[in-house]
């Protein structure tokens, strides 16, 4: 959106306050209608806010780069300069959490501006007032108030929030507002009233497939705070490793972690770190399937005798807990009791996904048990197990969460169902009276573009027809970082910046969905995240340097910039991967989404719509020529490098694709007629070049194909 909106067009404050509703207050038809009307205004408002141009001398042509987009934004004129006079005063009863948050905020501001933010003299008046009405709960609850009001004038900033969570969010919003302008670093004059649409906005990190040291999780918590995620879903056990110290069952970490696990002290430290950042920590211990690591240590829990080894491959494996033995439940009771004390959050995730039932079918005693209890299918047996499990989880004061396979009418309505197989199961759960979370569409490991995750709306599609009451049961969702193809070196680049668009989907109004605005704000957010110690940008550069050492990285980067890793589950089929396979090839090093290819696609679209400038057309030619000519410089590097040899055909393709693009531009410039034989040859070449090679996709191909198709045969 390119619209420039002037201040006089903004009469949004009154409208805005209507749609900044508490989710719990919706229900009656009247309220719903009001809500729909509000949504109409909201759409208009958001349309304007996304491309908001702040008037005023100092901030001319500045677009607000907030992510997630706040509920209401009312811009003003002028700016609040960041300088040595900045002095924060904390008021109210927010407690030490707010004090610590302000300290981190001042450090963040210092990082982003280079301006010492503690230099105000002791007699200068405070000009940044943080007011927090009351302290938060010791254990952050799902219902906790997260709202805040941020008012920036040219002389003061006021941040008001009922609870510390609002202060945390408001401080992050302020940090995002700060940009350098003609007068220096400043935040625009603005009033923001904000609160989330959904109360549960999570990020799952799998630390079983590849272990992630504590500092990796911590820097991701910093990233989560920046974009207002409030749940870390910590996937702590799976076939490939058990990652938590158990004092009751120490063989779990001794035999099943290969030395990579968190001590209970580390876990407490992490939970405190998360709590300081407004993030709940929900542990997941996946049972009765995905549980080989348990059986390495305690084979008696399994449905087959074993022995078992920690699994190094990826996939769905047969081993499953024996749901028919009382000893299994005694073990789970003791284990969950221990973990329930370690993890203070009221929610406890038991996994429950992908139980193929093969181990149960092979065990005659288990089959007899099924018959005796009139359990027709293995899924009924799993439901029987889940029912017992839920009683144990509840006994230890927790609410059970599980993947959508656990959905079964025998389970009490208090459980939460997390949908990963599609929105249908979320809708089904809500209809049956269960609360739900959406993760389908938010799998970051599938290497899809940010736009695809952004388009996944929890209350559209299969859930659109739910009643207002049923919709209330959808608590939010979680982005998921499954760890088959990530390690501590590249995991940040798989999570960030794309996770930020899931955070926005769950925080901001559904009507905030303009892609140009999203990508432009995402770029800014991405830079801010790197300041927190995340390595999504710097890591990609380091990994390219590692690959090209000791050569100049430039030629390799020119190729890498148009490539993306293959999508979905394609890597599983490409090679025999396991947890010991080095993740050091180009496919592991590049971002999931090529910004260069996206920009080129935009230029192509405009060119074909006769809407591009001569300058932009020149840019396309310069890029295509650089790609065409890059091959000969790159090949000597590729040929003498064991990790890069596989890229020779990838690079050769790029030369062909770029050459075709240049030729197509020539034909299009002179009327568009091209020899039929040339068109056919190029389209056949592009068909080949568009296929995955070395688990990489050339993302320029679709654009060049459009250029070739736009010519007409002779």
Query: Residue 19 or residue 403: which is nearer to ligand ACM going by CB?
Result: 403
* Strand 416-419 versus strand 435-438 pairing type: parallel
* 646 near ligand ACM, rule: CB under 6 A: no
Query: Residue 477 or residue 661: which is nearer to ligand ACM going by CB?
Result: 477
| Residues in 102-121 that interact with ligand ACM by CB under 6 A | none
Query: Residue 140 or residue 382: which is nearer to ligand ACM going by CB?
Result: 382
Q: Which residue has the tokens 């992490």?
A: 270
Q: How far is the CB of 199 from ligand ACM (least distance, A)?
A: 22
* 420 near ligand ACM, rule: CB under 6 A: yes
Q: How far is the CB of 518 from ligand ACM (least distance, A)?
A: 26
Query: Residue 304 or residue 354: which is nearer to ligand ACM going by CB?
Result: 354
The one-character DSSP state at 8 is: G
In sequence order, the β-bridge partners of residue 90 are 130
3-state secondary structure 411-460: CCCCCEEEECCCHHHHHHHHHCCCEEEECCCCEHHHCCCHHHHHHCCCCC
Q: Give Cα 487 distance to the centre of its chain.
A: 16
Q: Give Cα 220 distance to the centre of its chain.
A: 10
At residue 260, the 3 state secondary structure works out as coil
Q: 518-524: long-range contacts at Cβ-Cβ below 8 A with a sequence spacing of 24 or more?
A: 518/67, 518/450, 518/451, 518/454, 519/450, 519/451, 519/598, 520/63, 520/65, 521/64, 521/65, 521/66, 521/67, 521/69, 522/67, 522/450, 522/497, 523/497, 523/595, 524/65, 524/67, 524/176
Q: Identify the CA nearest to 349 among candidates 268, 439, 272.
A: 439
Q: How far is the CB of 336 from ligand ACM (least distance, A)?
A: 20
Catalytic residue among 57, 245, 304, 354: 354
550's CB contacts (< 8 A; 6+ apart) are none
**Please, what is the Cα angle at 538 between 534 and 543, to 5 degrees?**
120
Helix residue ranges, H only, 562-675: 570-574, 586-589, 595-608, 614-639, 648-669
Query: Residue 331 or residue 403: which is nearer to ligand ACM going by CB?
Result: 403
* 484 near ligand ACM, rule: CB under 6 A: no
Query: Residue 148 or residue 420: which is nearer to ligand ACM going by CB?
Result: 420
Query: Residue 66 or residue 486: which is nearer to ligand ACM going by CB?
Result: 486
Q: How far is the CB of 482 from ligand ACM (least distance, A)?
A: 6
Query: Residue 354 or residue 514: which is nearer to ligand ACM going by CB?
Result: 354
Total binding residues toward ligand ACM, as defined by CB under 6 A: 4
At residue 18, the 3 state secondary structure works out as helix
Residue nearest to ligand ACM as judged by C-beta position = 353
Q: Give Cα 608 distance to the centre of its chain.
A: 34
The contact pattern for ligand ACM, residues 369-408, with x = CB under 6 A and - = no contact, is: ----------------------------------x-----
What tokens appear for 667 in the block? 């034909």
Q: Identify the CA nearest to 594 among candidates 400, 450, 401.
A: 450
307's CB contacts (< 8 A; 6+ apart) are 296, 299
Cβ pair 278, 169 in contact under 8 A = yes
The contact pattern for ligand ACM, residues 295-334, with x = CB under 6 A and - = no contact, is: ----------------------------------------
3-state secondary structure 52-93: CECCCCCCCCCECCCCCCCCEEEEEEEEEECCCCCCEEEEEC
* Strand 148-152 versus strand 157-161 pairing type: antiparallel
Q: How far is the CB of 384 from ligand ACM (least distance, A)?
A: 21
Count helices and strands in the chain by DSSP H and E runs: 27, 20
Q: How far is the CB of 443 from ligand ACM (least distance, A)?
A: 7
Q: How far is the CB of 438 from ligand ACM (least distance, A)?
A: 13
66's CB contacts (< 8 A; 6+ apart) are 73, 173, 176, 177, 521
Query: Residue 353 or residue 561: which is nearer to ligand ACM going by CB?
Result: 353
Active-site residue 530, yes or no? no
| Residues in 489-518 that interact with ligand ACM by CB under 6 A | none
Q: How far is the CB of 418 from ligand ACM (least distance, A)?
A: 8
Total Cβ atoms within 10 A of residue 345? 22
The contact pattern for ligand ACM, residues 514-543, with x = CB under 6 A and - = no contact, is: ------------------------------
At residue 652, the 3 state secondary structure works out as helix
| Residues in 341-360 that interact with ligand ACM by CB under 6 A | 353-354
Q: How far is the CB of 692 from ligand ACM (least distance, A)?
A: 22
At residue 235, the 3 state secondary structure works out as strand
Query: Residue 331 or residue 443: which is nearer to ligand ACM going by CB?
Result: 443
Query: Residue 79 or residue 353: which is nearer to ligand ACM going by CB?
Result: 353
Q: How far is the CB of 192 from ligand ACM (least distance, A)?
A: 36
What tokens appear for 362 in the block? 């092979």
Q: How far is the CB of 420 from ligand ACM (least distance, A)?
A: 4
Question: Judging by beta carbons within 10 Å of its beta carbon (0-12, 13-18, 19+), is residue 60 exposed, middle or buried?
Answer: exposed
655's CB contacts (< 8 A; 6+ apart) are 627, 628, 630, 631
265's CB contacts (< 8 A; 6+ apart) are none
What tokens appear for 136 in the block? 């938060």
| Residues in 556-585 that interact with ligand ACM by CB under 6 A | none
Q: Which residue has the tokens 């899924």?
A: 379
Query: Residue 200 or residue 420: which is nearer to ligand ACM going by CB?
Result: 420
Q: Identify the CA nearest to 660 among candidates 683, 676, 677, 629.
A: 683
Q: How far is the CB of 354 from ligand ACM (least distance, A)?
A: 5
Query: Residue 179 or residue 353: which is nearer to ligand ACM going by CB?
Result: 353
Q: How far is the CB of 232 from ligand ACM (least distance, A)?
A: 16
Annotated active-site positions, please? 354
List residues binding ligand ACM (CB under 6 A): 353-354, 403, 420
């Amino acid at each position: 959106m390119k619209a420039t909106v002037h201040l006089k067009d903004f009469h949004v404050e009154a409208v805005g306050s209507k749609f900044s509703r508490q989710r719990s207050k919706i229900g009656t038809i009247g309220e719903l209608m009001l809500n729909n009307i509000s949504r109409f205004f909201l759409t208009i408002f958001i349309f304007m806010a996304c491309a908001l141009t702040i008037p005023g001398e100092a901030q001319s042509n500045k677009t607000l780069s907030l992510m997630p987009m706040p509920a209401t934004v009312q811009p003003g004129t002028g700016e609040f300069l960041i300088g040595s006079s900045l002095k924060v005063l904390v008021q109210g009863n927010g407690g030490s959490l707010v004090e610590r948050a302000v300290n981190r905020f001042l450090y963040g501001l210092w990082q982003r501006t280079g301006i010492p933010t503690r230099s105000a003299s002791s007699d200068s008046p405070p000009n940044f007032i943080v007011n927090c009405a009351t302290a938060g709960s010791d254990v952050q609850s799902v219902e906790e108030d997260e709202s805040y009001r941020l008012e920036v004038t040219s002389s003061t900033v006021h941040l008001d929030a009922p609870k510390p969570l609002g202060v945390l969010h408001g401080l992050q919003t302020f940090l995002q507002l700060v940009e350098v302008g003609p007068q220096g670093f400043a935040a625009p004059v603005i009033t923001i009233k904000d609160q989330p649409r959904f109360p549960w906005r999570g990020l799952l990190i799998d630390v079983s497939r590849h272990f992630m040291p504590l500092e990796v999780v911590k820097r991701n918590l910093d990233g989560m705070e920046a974009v207002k995620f409030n749940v870390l879903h910590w996937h702590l056990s799976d076939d490939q490793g058990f990652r938590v110290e158990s004092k009751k069952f120490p063989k779990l970490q001794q035999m099943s972690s290969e030395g990579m696990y968190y001590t209970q002290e580390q876990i407490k430290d992490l939970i405190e770190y998360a709590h300081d950042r407004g993030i709940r920590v929900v542990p997941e211990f996946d049972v009765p399937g995905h549980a080989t690591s348990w059986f390495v240590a305690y084979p008696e829990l399994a449905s087959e005798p074993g022995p078992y080894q920690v699994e190094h491959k990826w996939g769905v494996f047969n081993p499953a807990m024996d749901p028919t033995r009382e000893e299994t439940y005694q073990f789970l009771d003791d284990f969950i009791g221990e973990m329930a004390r370690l993890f203070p959050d009221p929610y406890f995730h038991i996994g429950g996904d992908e139980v193929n039932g093969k181990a149960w079918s092979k065990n005659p005693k288990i089959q007899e048990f099924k018959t005796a209890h009139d359990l027709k299918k293995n899924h009924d047996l799993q439901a029987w197990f889940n029912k017992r499990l839920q009683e144990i989880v509840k006994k230890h004061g927790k609410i059970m969460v599980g993947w959508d396979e656990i959905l079964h009418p025998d389970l009490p309505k208090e459980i939460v169902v997390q949908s990963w197989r599609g929105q249908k199961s979320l809708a089904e759960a809500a209809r049956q009276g269960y609360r739900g979370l959406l993760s389908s569409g938010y799998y970051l490991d599938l290497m899809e573009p940010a736009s695809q995750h952004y388009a996944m709306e929890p209350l559209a599609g299969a859930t659109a027809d739910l009643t207002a009451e049923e919709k209330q049961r959808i608590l939010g969702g979680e982005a998921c970082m499954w760890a088959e193809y990530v390690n501590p070196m590249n995991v940040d680049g798989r999570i960030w910046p794309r996770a930020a668009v899931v955070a926005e989907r769950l925080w901001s109004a559904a009507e905030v969905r303009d892609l140009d605005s999203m990508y432009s704000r995402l770029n800014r957010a991405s830079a801010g995240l790197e300041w927190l110690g995340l390595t999504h940008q710097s890591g990609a550069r380091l990994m390219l340097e590692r690959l090209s050492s000791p050569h100049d990285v430039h030629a390799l980067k020119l190729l890498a910039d148009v490539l993306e890793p293959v999508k979905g589950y394609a890597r599983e089929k490409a090679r025999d991967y396991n947890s010991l396979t080095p993740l050091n090839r180009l496919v592991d090093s590049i971002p999931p989404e090529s910004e260069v290819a996206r920009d080129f696609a935009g230029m192509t679209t405009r060119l074909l719509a006769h809407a591009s400038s001569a300058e932009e057309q020149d840019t396309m030619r310069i890029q295509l020529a650089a790609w065409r000519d890059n091959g000969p410089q790159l090949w000597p590097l590729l040929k003498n490098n064991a990790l890069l040899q596989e890229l020779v055909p990838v690079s050769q393709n790029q030369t062909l694709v770029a050459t075709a693009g240049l030729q197509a531009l020539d034909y299009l410039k002179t009327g568009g007629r091209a020899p039929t034989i040339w068109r056919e040859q190029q389209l056949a070449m592009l068909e080949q070049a568009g296929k995955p090679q070395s688990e990489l996709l050339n993302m320029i191909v679709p654009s060049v194909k459009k250029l070739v198709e736009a010519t007409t045969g002779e």
